[in-house]
Structure 1
C-alpha cells in the first residue's frame, strides 16, 4: 500500500457536484484535512453510462489524484462504487472509501418492513446492488426506483423548478403508496434535494442519507493508518471539474457556501 505524508490531501470524486455532500460531511468531522475534489461534470451522470466507460473515467480521475499525492481516495458516487471500486482497489496501491445505498440502516428502523431506494439506473441494475438487496431484505421489501433526469436537474442548479418537483413526485409518491416508510437516497446528488423530497413524502417516510457515515469511515481509515493531519490550521479545498464554467462554479458555491471559491479545469 502506498505511504503518504499525513499532511497530504484527501481525494474525493464523483460524476458531478453530488459528492460535495460527502466532502462537506468530511470537512465537518475533519476540519484540518485538505481536500481535492474532482467533479467529472462533462460526463455526468455515470448512472446511464456503460460500465467500461465509468471504469475508464474512474481510472483517469484516480491517476490524476494520485499524481497530486493524495493519501486516500473517497469514491463519492454510488454507481462508481458499486461497479468499479473492487477493480480500482486491485489496480492502485492506495486506500479507497466507497459509498453504497443505506439499505441496511433503513431496514433496521423501518416499521412497515418496506423501504424505497432512489438511485440511478446503473446503480439499480448493477450486480453488486442486486446482491446487496438480496442479502439484506430477508422478509422485508425493498422498492428500487431509478430516477432518470434528477442528477441533471441538480447539476443545472434546478432545485425548486416545477420540472424537478414533478420528477420527485413521479419517483417518490409510488414508494409511499406501496408502504415505504424509509426513503434511501442512493445517489450522492439526491442529498441536495432532501428538503424537496421531504416536502413530498411528508410524515409518511424518513430519509436515509449515508454522507455522515462515509465521513466517519474516512476518519476511521485515516486513524487506523496513522494518516490524520496533525496541523491545527483549517483545511483547504481545491475543486476541479471537467466542465469548469461559471455555471458549474455557481452551483458548487450554492451547494457548499463559504468553502468553494474557485474551480480548476480537469482534463476530459
Structure 2
C-alpha cells in the first residue's frame, strides 16, 4: 500500500531540524511538513497545561494539512503530550525518549551526563528512563540545565562565544565528575556539538535519540502501510508561527549541505557538486 501524504514533524522552534535530518536519511522518498512554533519558543518554562495545548494545536495544524503521521521532535512536548495526542488523533504519533539507555551501555567511567531543558527535567519521562536503565545498572547520572541554550540556537548562535561560555559553565561540573557520555536531552542541542567539542574536546561522547527515532518512524510507516512512493525524492515544506524571515536565515544555516548536528558531515542525499539546491519552502502559519 502506498500513502503519498506527508510526514509531519513538530518542534517548538528549529531544534527539530536535527531530527528531520535523520528522518530524511532514513526516509529519502517521503515528503515532510516541518512545523516550528517559533512564536512560543522556548516552551520548557511554560506550564504543563500550556505545553500540552501548544503541542495539540500544532499537531492539529499538521493533521489538517494531510499529515499521515507526526513526529513530536521535542523532548519537552513528548514528555507532557504524547498520551493526549494519541487519544485524540487517528494517525501514528511518534515521540522522543532521552537516549539514556545507549549512554548507559557505552559508559566506561560509570557516570553519564544529561543536558536538558527545565521542562524536560520537570516531566516524568526523563526520571523514568533514568530509573529504568541507569539506576538498575548502577550508573550515576548527573544533570545539567540551562535556559539560555535554546534561545541561542534559535538565534543562529549555536557556534558562538556566547554558547561556548554557557556550555563551559553548565558542563564543567560533569567533566570534573568524569562523565564520559553526554545525553543531549533537547533537539536543539545537537547543533551545539561543535561548541561542546571546542570547549571539552573528546571528554564526552554525545548521544541523542534522533537516529533511533528516524528508524522507528520508518518501521511504523512500513507496518501501517503508510510508506510513500519510492521512485521520487522527498520534499520539505517548513511552517513557522513566528518571524518567517528570521526562521529562513536560521534554517538555511542549519540545513546547508554537509552540516548536521553542528559538524561538517556528508550531505544526507547526493554529492556536494551539482545543481544548486531549490529555494526553501517556508510559510507563516497560525495554530
TM-score range, shorter chain: over 0.9
Separation in structure 2 between the aligned mates of residue 8 and residue 182 of structure 1, nearest angstrom: 38
Q: 1:11 aligns with which of 5, 8, 11?
A: 8
Q: 2:59 aligns with which of 59, 62, 65?
A: 62
Is 2:159 the partner of 1:160?
A: yes
- Unaligned runs of 5+ residues in structure 1 are none
Change (3 A) 1:153 1:226: same
Per-residue deviation, residues 113-154 of structure 1 (Å, max 9, x unmatched): 110000101101212222221222221111111121100000
Provide the residue aligned with 1:184 in structure 2: 183
Q: Does the residue aligned with 2:39 lie in a helix, a strand or coil?
A: helix
Report the TM-score when normalising by structure 2: 0.89
Separation in structure 2 between the aligned mates of residue 229 and residue 222 of structure 1, nearest angstrom: 9
Query: Contact 2:101–2:129 at 8 Å: present in 1 too?
Result: no
Query: Contact 1:25–1:215 at 8 Å: present in 2 too?
Result: yes
Q: 1:45 aligns with which of 37, 42, 50?
A: 42
Query: Contact 1:198–1:207 at 8 Å: present in 2 too?
Result: no
Is 2:262 the partner of 1:243?
A: no
Matches within 5 A, 1:85-234: 85-138=82-135, 139-234=138-233
Change (3 A) 1:84 1:142: same
Deviates more, 1:75-84 or 1:119-128: 119-128
Provide the residue aligned with 1:265 in structure 2: 284
Separation in structure 2 between the aligned mates of residue 244 and residue 233 of structure 1, nearest angstrom: 31
Query: Contact 1:244–1:263 at 8 Å: present in 2 too?
Result: no
Provide the residue aligned with 1:78 in structure 2: 75
Offset at residue 199 of structure 1 (A):
2.1
Offset at residue 18 of structure 1 (A):
0.4
Report the TM-score when normalising by structure 1: 0.95
Per-residue deviation, residues 81-123 of structure 1 (Å, max 9, x unmatched): 0111111112221111111210000000100111000010110
Separation in structure 2 between the aligned mates of residue 151 and residue 242 of structure 1, nearest angstrom: 17
Offset at residue 259 of structure 1 (A):
6.9
Query: Contact 1:244–1:266 at 8 Å: present in 2 too?
Result: no
- Unaligned runs of 5+ residues in structure 2 are 257-276
Query: Contact 1:7–1:231 at 8 Å: present in 2 too?
Result: no
Change (3 A) 1:210 1:128: closer
Query: Contact 2:163–2:195 at 8 Å: present in 1 too?
Result: no
Query: Contact 1:237–1:260 at 8 Å: present in 2 too?
Result: no
Aligned residues: 265
Query: Contact 2:240–2:283 at 8 Å: present in 1 too?
Result: yes
Deviation above 4 Å: which 4+ runs of structure 1? none
